[in-house]
Structure 1
């Protein structure tokens, strides 16, 4: 199916005849998104994370774990991100390559690991999840590790020695002369010209702030990292809903309204990566975290919310469907997701962006909101990261809406005995902290840097903060 056909098929299941068009990200367009704070909170009262659906106040940690948390999980699974079905495939991990490399001046061991999904029930759909795992070679014990959503590239593939390059060069020239004897005279006239040569040494590259890449900083701090390719878990498109792990679970058929969407599938894939990493004796299974930026920031938060084994999460510039409030009408809207990126979410989520339906709903009717998604991670460690619009981290992401959500999640962290942001719980009066002035004293942290759509400038703050939270 095309993405439009997948959306239409789900609309038919839900009795929806038309969808609200999402606002434009172009501030000069006639249908541009709202950026007026006076209009940003049409549903100013958020669901109370410490009041059960029956109206009972939650006052103890035991009530949170046994009563309230399962209700919030159910709300997100049914209406927002979808359920992981019992037919989700088993994943078998295999190391396909191991390379001894260097990141900067630190020796590391890099492994490419492939997670093959059992496709016996749907042989026409093949899923091989790709991941590269990098750990310090000389660590004295198991190291903490951060899963980053991204391409599974080796950091610095080891190179042949000069002697080996000379052998390669001689073999290439010999093969070319065999194919074209006239090349022998050219090679003889230029005896010093190599076709294969040893690349020059390069010092690690730093950005304008002088910071090394995120992966270099992690290794230098004694962490490992894994690059997990989300596109090999589930395609980022509506057309791909009958492929990937979602397609395997539905046997290539259309989804039901509460089946998982792409964000949940990516989060589930991070959990399957954790399954493998927890078996590695060089990695500290109790100190594995997950990170992502933008749509992958949404997926990282979803992964940590649903899987309590993740010890820490770094959520970068995530926007709607991630850390910012769904009830907010500022920048990206619920209609942006129900229209353009409907496949990220459960089918049921379309109900909250319908223009014409058997029963009309809006964002204010959602049983849960993003402050409760953040609260699901408590008492584990959450670091929310944003940049500034002037550098490309657009207002569309609603930085203030995420800060409001973090404040509203605070009471759960406090109930569970850990420190939150430390700025109170009056989210309606939330004022963003100054840029480059983070709130990093608690298990829930916030920092807005003066860069763009990346969490790179915050990595130098995240690592020592995470070390403190993880007791390193």
Structure 2
């Protein structure tokens, strides 16, 4: 009898949770809720990006490294040194991953619902003179456990049809759009116009006089070229000058064009369809669905980790449904906050083979311990939702556990990069003169890559080819490619984008994976570079 009552009580509790509406917090309310959970009474304000403001960010080299010593990648928590690859994989790497999950980016829940993919639209297109097949796909997340929240992942898969598969693919964090939607032929357009004129005349017979007066008028004119990502651009582009220190013009084609011209495929993944880019959305999206509309706990995942999870689900789709895709050579790409997400994706999803990490800054490749531009306090304040709730502790000035700073975080961004080893990680930045702000801390990101190199070398891969003394090594001149290893760096001479490094990324990966596209006879242009 007692057992029956217990089962009924549990079923009743589950039903109540399922029917309970989502919490409707504002971002400020959600932020305060997490502070209360953690026992934080006050947070230090983040620095201002306005250099004339009283609390402006630091750009004084002498004050840039208040905590010069990073956590040692090759020392276990028990103090023993890591000297073999086996020790890294089975002892040290799990320690680093655990700290990054618990304190920085959050853990993946154990009960994430399954994703079912469907193809909403298939279109044969010509994108910058290259024939492609484009598919708009939707990944429906099973919400039967909490119907109040729906999550449908939106992405567009674009694959060249003029080369033999399998082809490498880059998942780009961007709007999910068709690159160059196919249009009716001239003859088909005439049919459409004739039918439309007839329909309109049936509705309003007076329009016959208009058609008689303007016999050449067409309600739908024949479509001109164009399309998303700049379809219709010429294949041959004037290259950006690659002279160190010389600021060039932004003549690089859009990244999607460069990929297709090189015989690659790409996926445009809408991250907002996975999880909103704001704190108010944490009780919705995939995070809200798993939590049944309730606020996060301190070690729950933030948006960066949720976006990375969504990218991995796209990889599931490619593995299972696209035989012309080389599923062993799928990578991720993003700029700014999406650059952070690209690095997090490569670090935590071992199936990804590569990443182009563009201008990622704090929360990405930038060292948390550096005092330059964006700071930990920037991500414990307004952009807290990118991270685990626990990350807020390191911006606390008054809390039940006492104040904490960036130096108290048990890991840093070099640990995140090290999780990618020995896979291909290309750290990309532009220059402040063109808009890739000083705020991003280019030198601090370079230092993190330098420090992570010890793990690449331990695993038999190559790093940047310099010493691993992160406090000594300085960035090379602009436009200097450091692409000999599996860990790569290049600071291009453009702004807050990575398309200026895309051609370098493609060439680098092609060499590393020994990819050379094989044209299909009569299928149209091949590699356009």
Q: 2:458 aligns with which of 415, 429, 435?
A: 415
Q: 1:260 aligns with which of 293, 301, 312?
A: 301
**Secondary structure of 2:105 counterpart:** coil
Q: Partner of 1:272 in structure 2? A: 313
Q: Partner of 1:164 in structure 2? A: 188
Per the TM alignment, residue 425 of structure 1 is displaced from its structure 2 partner at its CA by 0.8
Per the TM alignment, residue 88 of structure 1 is displaced from its structure 2 partner at its CA by 1.6
Q: 1:67 aligns with which of 73, 82, 91?
A: 91
Deviation digits for residues 321-360 of structure 1, max 9, x if unmatched? 0001011110000000000101000000000011210122
Q: TM-score normalised to the size of structure 2?
A: 0.88
CA root-mean-square deviation:
1.2
Q: 2:410 aligns with which of 346, 364, 367?
A: 367
Alignment of 1:44-443 (within 5 A): 44-201=68-225, 203-204=232-233, 208-279=249-320, 280-359=322-401, 360-443=403-486
Per the TM alignment, residue 198 of structure 1 is displaced from its structure 2 partner at its CA by 1.7
Please tell me whether Structure 1 or Structure 2 has the larger radius of gyration of its CA atoms.
Answer: 2
Deviation digits for residues 239-259 of structure 1, max 9, x if unmatched? 000111000110100100000
Q: Partner of 1:14 in structure 2? A: 38
Per the TM alignment, residue 195 of structure 1 is displaced from its structure 2 partner at its CA by 1.1
Deviation digits for residues 165-212 of structure 1, max 9, x if unmatched? 111112222233333333221221111111112223463166854422
Q: TM-score normalised to the size of structure 1?
A: 0.98
**Secondary structure of 1:64 counterpart:** helix
| Whole-angstrom CA distance in 1 between matches of 2:289 and 2:113 | 7
| Whole-angstrom CA distance in 1 between matches of 2:65 and 2:225 | 55
Per the TM alignment, residue 468 of structure 1 is displaced from its structure 2 partner at its CA by 1.4
Gaps of 5+ in 2: 1-24, 227-231, 239-248, 516-529
**Secondary structure of 2:471 counterpart:** helix
Per the TM alignment, residue 237 of structure 1 is displaced from its structure 2 partner at its CA by 0.5
Checking the alignment, whether the CA contact within 8 Å between 1:88 and 1:246 is kept in structure 2 is no
Deviation digits for residues 388-446 of structure 1, max 9, x if unmatched? 00100000000000000000001000000011001111111221110011111111110
Deviation digits for residues 291-327 of structure 1, max 9, x if unmatched? 1100000001001000111111100000000001011
Gaps of 5+ in 1: none
Q: Partner of 1:41 in structure 2? A: 65
Checking the alignment, whether the CA contact within 8 Å between 2:467 and 2:473 is kept in structure 1 is no
| Whole-angstrom CA distance in 2 between matches of 1:339 and 1:174 | 61
Per the TM alignment, residue 105 of structure 1 is displaced from its structure 2 partner at its CA by 1.7
Per the TM alignment, residue 284 of structure 1 is displaced from its structure 2 partner at its CA by 0.6
Checking the alignment, whether the CA contact within 8 Å between 2:250 and 2:494 is kept in structure 1 is no
**Secondary structure of 1:145 counterpart:** strand
